[in-house]
């Protein structure tokens, strides 16, 4: 568990160091995200390969809006040993009142050691009008997540998300897609 949290945090930390948030070449964000509507469970449909998720499948995130306008974060994924690994943290707007660019800090010994440094950039690049799908990335395009309120989406929605990601300059040919729960169950036998 500790290794998962440390590598997740280290990856997000590197993301935060790589590009200035004022970079004109950075992807465009959703402009405004209603955090009250954004909270809840999101399932990862696809992601770019990244070290800190190398042993993760069936990833999901739960966001809970807190009274101080920050978000509690609970990320979890299924490991090759068929156990759930979790990482808890907090998301805060990078600029007060601007809800499409967030800092994410995970609660572990590393963030307590370096509280002002150990954070990653979480940019909401797109959220559908009904808040059922979203695209999350970072300024340097090394990280990308296609998210949904459901574990699967139809082909039309999938293509729409891929098109939006490509328009933002992401290489979608490298995406790792979520495996259906029924296919995952077959591999456990």
H/E run at residue 167? helix 155-167
Does residue 77 carry a pLDDT above 90? yes
Q: Among residues 122, 147, 108, 109, which one has the least CA distance to residue 15?
A: 122
Does residue 71 carry a pLDDT above 80? yes
Does residue 115 carry a pLDDT above 80? no
pLDDT band at residue 188, thresholds of 50, 70 and 90? low
pLDDT of residue 189: 56
Q: What whole-number distance in Å separates Cα of residue 126 and Cα of residue 169?
A: 14
Task: Supply the CATH classification number for the domain 2-187.
Answer: 2.40.128.20
Does residue 7 carry a pLDDT above 60? no
pLDDT band at residue 66, thresholds of 50, 70 and 90? very high
Q: Is the model's pTM score more than 0.75?
A: yes
pLDDT of residue 116: 63
pLDDT of residue 14: 41
Does residue 49 carry a pLDDT above 50? yes
Higher model confidence: residue 33 or residue 111?
Answer: 33
Which residues, 6+ apart, have CB-to-CB distance to 185 below 8 Å?
none
Q: Which of 25-34, 82-91, 111-120, 149-158 has the lowest mean pLDDT?
A: 111-120
pLDDT of residue 109: 66
Does residue 122 carry a pLDDT above 70? yes
Q: What whole-number distance in Å separates Cα of residue 15 and Cα of residue 137?
A: 10
């Amino acid at each position: 568990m500790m290794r998962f949290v440390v590598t997740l945090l280290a990856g997000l930390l590197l993301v935060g160091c790589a590009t200035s948030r004022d970079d004109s070449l950075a992807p465009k964000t959703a402009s405004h995200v209603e955090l009250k509507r954004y909270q809840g469970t999101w399932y990862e449909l696809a992601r770019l390969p990244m070290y800190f998720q190398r042993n993760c499948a069936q990833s999901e995130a739960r966001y809970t809006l807190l009274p101080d306008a920050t978000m509690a974060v609970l990320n979890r994924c299924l490991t090759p040993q068929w156990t759930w690994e979790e990482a808890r943290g907090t998301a805060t707007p990078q600029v007060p009142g601007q809800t499409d660019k967030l800092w994410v800090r995970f609660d572990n010994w590393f963030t307590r050691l370096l509280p002002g440094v150990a954070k990653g950039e979480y940019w909401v690049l797109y959220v559908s009008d009904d808040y059922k799908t979203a695209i999350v990335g970072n300024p340097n395009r090394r990280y990308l997540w296609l998210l949904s309120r459901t574990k699967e989406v139809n082909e039309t929605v999938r293509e729409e998300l891929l098109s939006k990601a490509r328009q933002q300059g992401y290489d979608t040919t490298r995406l790792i897609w979520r495996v259906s729960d029924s296919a995952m169950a077959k591999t456990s036998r």
